[in-house]
Structure 1
Amino acid sequence: MLKLLKPLAAALAAAAVASSATAHEFWLEPSKSRATVDEEIPVTIAVGQHFVGNTLPWIPQRAVRFDVYGPGGKMEEAGAAFAADPAGIVRPAGRPGLYIVAYQNVGDRITIDAPTFNKYLEEEGLDHILRHRQENGLMDQPGQEFYTRFPKTWVLAGDNVNAGRWAAAPSKLTFEMVPVSNPFELRAGDTLTLDVLYEGRPLSGIQVNTFVKGAGERIQAVRSDANGRATVTIDRAGRWLFAAVHAIPAEKKPGVDWDWESFWTSLTLDVPPPQ
């Protein structure tokens, strides 16, 4: 059986890399973000654009972490089973409170043709890379990049909405967005402020893109301010996706043959209608 699983894992890993390379957003999507304490909530790993895409299986060899943090800080592995779809599961097992699901992949190197790379830089607000390419006559050269994904989501088990305040705590991902207030108290018509953090520190000038399930297009693109905070308008009820990219010059050392290193983060949230 082990001999059969190794080629399968390699094939699934290759498919996952190919899917990630041709898409922008990468996110975690629970079947619901509010549940009873006795439910088991499936969690899907998804990749695509404008909140539309394909699901990916959980492959241990491709994940640095895929964890659930529950009441009391207990950590569990979210992976449901090898190569399963949905990829993970949250099990409150009678324990009310907030469950944070955090994922990190192992990262991948990619070469992107010049037109696609330039368009991607424009769409994701990576102006410093675009400016570097323009100033150095590289606009017709392919982009060489190493990228890593850091999505997260939440599930609130039980009817104590106040427990959602723990969503305002960082998950110690290299790159992440953290709401400054309880996101489970949001309603359509409110605003949501996010702290954009890189290595635990506020990061200014990052473009945060917002999407709503079924809308078919980006809703907003806002920049984090000098304090690393981005405020978005929640103009409708529904399932929201918040996504951002940060990129830095690659460290020049043996074995590194790419020019840029990028970090992708996202979070998903269900917003109910006004009361």
Structure 2
Amino acid sequence: MQIRLTAVPALASLLLGLMLAAPAAVAHEFWMSSLPGPAGSARLQLLVGEYFEGSRVGFTREHAAAMRHYTGAGVEDLLPRLPRDGMLEALALPALRPGMHLIAYDSHPSLITLPAGRFHAYLHDEGLDAIVRWREEHGLADRPGRERFRRHVKHLICVGDAGAMNSQVHAVGTGQRLEILPRFQAGDLRPGADLPLAVSFDGRPLAGALLKAWHRRSGQTTLIRAHTDGQGQATIDLPYAGEWMFSVVHMIPAEGTADADWDSFWGNLTLTVREGGCR
């Protein structure tokens, strides 16, 4: 079942430091977008914010653990193009070939400690009530939430006629620990169509995950919620053209650290729905 909400958020100014801040601290979502350039080029940018309205943040080696560009011709490692010192406001991809392009971005882990109330509120918002119940059952409900989190971001770009070649690039598994995998044919990605999605964790289907779909239109944000089934799959209808964002969060007990009790993984996928499909 899908639940659709519409909200008009009031956003405060977001500073660069929010890129490294915790998901539940101020800015909830972290995603990638692109701007078209001349001769089939594109400029990639990272954004952070709430309700699919955000501020740009740059690319930095301090934050990026991996960044790859998938096409029908293979995979390009984009990490060497990020500056070792300083920050890159946008990353240019020159002369993209016709077809589907997939960009995958993974962050280094970051630590955060949240008061118990805020920790439980954010867990509930992300469909992680099982963690809340576990803390309550073990007498830990009043303790702060000590968390280590990572971002796993994907962005799809359709150039020209995606059906001409590499029509399955969008469905390639990138090896991200938490990954959203779209299951569609290029021509089917259009307003009013159903979008099948799969969510995996460590390469296995993730059942019961809360998957959110976001879209901004006329200053409003539409939010659609769905849960994955036993095979880690969910289908979301896409009523509008334009850019869509899909997000999911998974949490497990932390291992190999004394600084956190929980490891969280934040998956994100952005793509653009066109009238008539991707062509």
TM range (shorter): 0.7 to 0.9
Deviation at 1:160, TM superposition (A): 3.5
Task: State the partner residue of 2:58.
Answer: 57
1:172-183 matched pairs, under 5 angstroms: 172-182=175-185
What is the distance in 2 between the residues matched to 1:185 and 1:105?
31
Task: State the partner residue of 1:111.
Answer: 113
Poorly superposed stretches of 4+, deviation over 6 Å = none
Q: 79, 95, 98: which one pairs with 1:96?
A: 98
Does the 8 Å CA contact 1:205/1:228 hold for their aligned counterparts?
yes
Q: Which has the higher helix share?
A: 1
Deviation at 1:222, TM superposition (A): 0.8
Task: State the partner residue of 1:134.
Answer: 136
Q: Which has the higher strand share?
A: 2
What is the distance in 2 between the residues matched to 1:213 and 1:80?
29
Does the 8 Å CA contact 2:246/2:269 hold for their aligned counterparts?
yes
In the alignment, is residue 168 of structure 1 matched against residue 156 of structure 2?
no
User: RMSD across aligned C-alpha pairs, in angstroms?
Assistant: 2.4
Deviation at 1:80, TM superposition (A): 6.1
In the alignment, is residue 185 of structure 1 matched against residue 203 of structure 2?
no
TM-score (norm 1): 0.84
Task: State the partner residue of 1:41.
Answer: 42
Residue-pair matches, total? 257
Bigger relative contact order (CA 8 A; separation at least 6): 2
What is the distance in 2 between the residues matched to 1:83 and 1:239?
26
Cα distance change on mapping 1:13 and 1:272 into 2, 3 Å: closer
Does the 8 Å CA contact 2:61/2:82 hold for their aligned counterparts?
no
Q: Which secondary structure does the structure 1 equivalent of 2:132 belong to?
A: helix
What is the distance in 1 between the residues matched to 2:105 and 2:187?
21
What percentage of residue pairs aligned between the two structures are identical?
A: 32
Q: Which secondary structure does the structure 2 equivalent of 1:117 belong to?
A: helix
Q: 141, 147, 150: which one pairs with 2:149?
A: 147
Letter of the aligned partner of 1:147 in structure 2? F
What is the distance in 2 between the residues matched to 1:98 and 1:204?
28
TM-score (norm 2): 0.83
Cα distance change on mapping 1:76 and 1:39 into 2, 3 Å: farther
What is the distance in 2 between the residues matched to 1:121 and 1:184?
37
Task: State the partner residue of 1:225.
Answer: 229
Deviation at 1:15, TM superposition (A): 5.2
Q: 215, 225, 233: which one pairs with 1:212?
A: 215
* CA offsets 1:3-49 (integer angstroms, 9 cap, x no match): xxxxxxxxx985531375422211111125xx88x322011111122
What is the distance in 2 between the residues matched to 1:90 and 1:167?
17
Cα distance change on mapping 1:63 and 1:130 into 2, 3 Å: same
Gaps of 5+ in 2: 1-14
What is the distance in 2 between the residues matched to 1:42 and 1:220?
28
In the alignment, is residue 84 of structure 1 matched against residue 88 of structure 2?
yes
* CA offsets 1:138-172 (integer angstroms, 9 cap, x no match): 33322110000000111122324354432122122
Deviation at 1:127, TM superposition (A): 1.6
Cα distance change on mapping 1:260 and 1:19 into 2, 3 Å: closer
Deviation at 1:257, TM superposition (A): 2.2
Does the 8 Å CA contact 1:110/1:145 hold for their aligned counterparts?
yes
Deviation at 1:258, TM superposition (A): 1.1
* CA offsets 1:170-200 (integer angstroms, 9 cap, x no match): 1221111111223553111111111101111
Bigger mean CA offset, 51-60 vs 131-140: 131-140
Task: State the partner residue of 1:70.
Answer: 71
* CA offsets 1:224-266 (integer angstroms, 9 cap, x no match): 1001101111122221100000110112x4x422111011111
Q: Which secondary structure does the structure 2 equivalent of 1:60 belong to?
A: coil
Letter of the aligned partner of 2:195 in structure 1? L
Deviation at 1:90, TM superposition (A): 2.2
What is the distance in 2 between the residues matched to 1:19 and 1:264?
11
Does the 8 Å CA contact 1:13/1:59 hold for their aligned counterparts?
no
Task: State the partner residue of 1:6.
Answer: none
